[in-house]
Amino acid sequence: MADKPLLHFEISERKVLLRIFDVLFVLLTLTLLQSFTNFSYFRISKEFWYWTVLLVVYLKLFAHVFELYDLQKASHFDIVLKNVLLTTSVTVLFFILTPLLSPSLPDNRIQILYFFLTILCTLLLWRWAYISLIASPRFNKRVIVVGDSFDIQMIAEAFKKADPNYEVVGFVNTDEQVEVEDENFLRFEVDNLRKSVEEYHIKEIVVSSGYKGGLMLPLYNELSFLLNEGFPIRDYMQVYEDITARIPVQNVDHDFYRYFPFSRSNQNKFYLFSLRLFDILFSLMGIFIGLVLTPFVLLGNALANRGPLFYTQERIGQNSKTFKIVKFRTMVKNAEEQGPRYAEKNDLRTTPFGKFMRKARIDEIPQFLNLLKGEMSLIGPRPERPVFVQELSKSIPFYNIRHVIKPGLTGWAQVKGDYSGEEAGALEKLQYDLFYIKHRSIFLDLNIILKTLSTVISMRGQ
């Protein structure tokens, strides 16, 4: 019999806990420091309420930028240590550099060090407690997956990658003609489902709706009984989408639009106008930054890349129309003498200076011209080459749906997925792109911008 897990916190609940207690514990510790020591730089009071608001805004902003609310990273203390140090450093730096809103610098500058160490130690202690308690296996949600013959290992890994506390214990195979065996997972029989739920402390049953045979009557009766008892039973596609922030197109039958209600934002004129206005403003700012950086890029290109500064390439845009994308060249000349090839991680065709530009995303700056012309947007699926679109459309269901909106300079797939140009990577990116098309909104766009800032600052571009 499995050990009984403690209370499970859902993804949204854990994120709320992190956001609330980050602020609460920092303010509480600063209050205690102010009350029991001679610390006077920062005070929480009605008279200087805007100091507290400013600190909270900076703390929340940079905690998001440095991925303190990424649940996968929040479960590993070595990653948390680095991210808390970065968040605290930048928060304190910005706080003291806004003198009109923040306190005047004290004569005794060691107070700034106290301020910094208090925030740092408080966040580290709270995050250590979170990892030891809430993010521990004792709080795992134990789940059974029901469906036809499927890759249970792939499903479990996808869930675990997105949510470390989501544990697939086993499965019920509804396809009697195909045997599914996996030593890492328990196989549950329909007749013993109620007993197994109690014995293994199962918290949820996930039912795949993509198989053709439909639910068998005994299974239907078992699930109906559990549902009437208040036991949570959820659709596999909905669970997959909620947990991974992707749409599992490989498991959807041909009646795709029944499962895929497009976001209202795709037809919302105010949202589209705001997005276009933001694209224009952002492109003008980007072009200005590009003009400042171009002499340095030109020098680096002359010394290390040895060839043209720019390169253009045909890409597929909105409604499958082609356009020319502009980028700083990062690869050797004649990089595709053998024909079109996917860019790869640690691609040998990339020059040393090109690698630096890719990591810092400097090579993308000329694309602000495409933004200004309206061929691209700041956020959307990355535009792909026609030859690859043709290949991927034959092997990946609904690949062309990603072209219903403008391609983007950055996107949900770029900030969430792993880098890969092969078909498996293209499938994962498509799942993220379709999730964005389905759920796009101002809040999701802001989330992507903050995650992109994190990628640029940490030099994770590829």
155-177 tens-digit pLDDT: 888 888 778 888 888 888 876 65
d(C-alpha 307, C-alpha 175), whole Å: 59
When pLDDT is averaged across residues 118-127 and rounded to a whole number, the result is: 96
d(C-alpha 231, C-alpha 279), whole Å: 47
In single-letter form, the type of residue at position 170 comes to G
Does the pLDDT at position 371 exceed 90?
yes
d(C-alpha 282, C-alpha 432), whole Å: 24
Per-residue pLDDT, 281:
94
Q: How confident is the model at residue 39 (pLDDT cuts 50, 70, 90)?
A: confident
Per-residue pLDDT, 106:
78
Per-residue pLDDT, 120:
96
Please give the mean pLDDT across all residues of the chain. Answer: 83
Q: Is the dihedral of CA 325, 326, 327, 329 positive or negative?
A: positive
Q: Is the dihedral of CA 97, 100, 101, 106 positive or negative?
A: positive
When pLDDT is averaged across residues 239-259 and rounded to a whole number, the result is: 71
Per-residue pLDDT, 335:
66
When pLDDT is averaged across residues 221-239 and rounded to a whole number, the result is: 87
Nearest to 412 by CA among 291, 244, 273: 244
Cβ-Cβ contacts under 8 Å for 20 (sequence gap 6 or more):
none
Ranking 193-202, 265-274, 435-444 by mean pLDDT, the lowest is 265-274
When pLDDT is averaged across residues 292-300 and rounded to a whole number, the result is: 89
Per-residue pLDDT, 292:
92
Report all structural domains of the chain as residue ranges with CATH numbers, in order of start. 11-132 (no CATH), 140-244 (3.40.50.11060), 264-333+341-457 (no CATH)
Cβ-Cβ contacts under 8 Å for 240 (sequence gap 6 or more):
155, 158, 159, 246, 247, 248, 251
Cβ-Cβ contacts under 8 Å for 268 (sequence gap 6 or more):
none
d(C-alpha 403, C-alpha 393), whole Å: 12
Determine whether 85 is exposed, middle or buried from the number of CB atoms within 10 Å of its CB (0-12, 13-18, 19+). middle
Per-residue pLDDT, 164:
80
Give percent of the chain above pLDDT 70.
Answer: 86
Does the pLDDT at position 276 exceed 90?
yes
